Amino acid sequence: MIGLEVSHVSYSYGKSKALHDVSFSVENGRFCALLGPNGAGKSTLFALLTRLLATGEGKIGVAGFDIAREPRAALARIGVVFQQPTLDLDMSVRRNLRYFAGLHGLSGRPAAVAIEAALTQLGMAERADEQVRALNGGHRRRMEIARALIHGPQILLLDEPTVGLDAASRLAITDHVHQLAESGLSVLWATHLVDEIRPTDQVVVLHRGKVLSDGRAGELAGGQGLAKAFLSMTAEDREIVT
């Protein structure tokens, strides 16, 4: 079953074209990395997927719902972690999540159950009563991912979720999100870091607003490794240090 379907999507900011005829799909249970250097158009695509921007050209399907025609049904099935953290630092983890559950119409016992389950999935259950301000960056990010799961989405979108984190936190988060994909979610993970991608993951390479390739990471890497394959595809952007 296809969770997310992006079909011939283009988008321009005024005269500058940020996305050119972008098409790919992500099946349920798949971890798909949207791999591209800065300026590739990753966040622009995320804005279209979450309706922060209205679709220019093309079609976006979420769990079978057309996001332009049935935005409510489509958005209800999306969980999103944006590039910029959005947490209330002075509230506890649980209160932050309860507030967000309320926005989705969940309260009381069902909210408590959903919050507990989401925190457990991210290995954060024992931190539920801590103030967010006291958490390190990695735990804050895990909490944001837990928050994105509370309303039971089928598609999870994460825009460069490990930026600024140390290696151990990056690894923990990457592992957790791969597990979420294995449990049946369609995951779209925007990144410019090849070490977050596993050979069996789907990789969509985005460069200057265009999809350059779409397939299994292991196949894209070939004998040379994913880092080299990615660099050679996007070579014009490589900085030459002398």
The b/e string for 82-117 (b: 16+ C-beta within 10 A; e otherwise) is: beeeebeeeebbbbbbbebbeeeebeeeebeebbee
Q: Angle formed by the axes of helices 137-149 and 108-121, to 10°?
A: 130
Residue 234 interaction partner, one of ligand ADP, Mg ion, none, beta carbon < 5-8 Å per kind: none
**Residue 199 interacts with ligand ADP (CB under 6 A): yes or no:** no
Per DSSP, the three-state class of 103 is helix
36 binds, among ligand ADP, Mg ion, none (CB under 5 to 8 A by kind): ligand ADP
* Contact assessment for residue 199 and residue 221, using Cβ atoms and an 8 Å cutoff: yes
Among 41, 79, 153, 161, the residue binding ligand ADP under the rule CB under 6 A is 41
Q: Is 7 in the site for Mg ion (CB under 5 A)?
A: no
40 binds ligand ADP (CB under 6 A): yes
Residue 44, interface with ligand ADP (CB under 6 A)? yes
Contact between residue 125 and residue 176 where contact means Cβ atoms under 8 Å apart:
no
36 part of the interface to ligand ADP, by CB under 6 A? yes
CB of 63 to Mg ion, least distance (A): 24
Other C-beta atoms within 10 Å of 16: how many? 7
Taking CB under 5 A as the rule, does residue 47 contact Mg ion?
no
Q: Does 43 bind Mg ion (CB under 5 A)?
A: yes
Least Å distance between CB 44 and Mg ion?
8
Q: What is the DSSP letter of 106?
A: -
Scanning 32-40, 86-94, 105-113, 196-204 for contacts with ligand ADP by CB under 6 A, the matching segment is: 32-40
- The residues, any chain, with a CB within 8 Å of residue 93's CB and separated by 6 or more, are 119, 124, 127, 128, 129, 130, 132, 135, 143
Residues 44, 86: Cα–Cα separation, whole Å: 18
> Does 62 participate in binding ligand ADP (rule CB under 6 A)?
no
Residues near Mg ion (CB under 5 A): 42-43
Residues near ligand ADP (CB under 6 A): 13, 16, 18, 36, 38-44
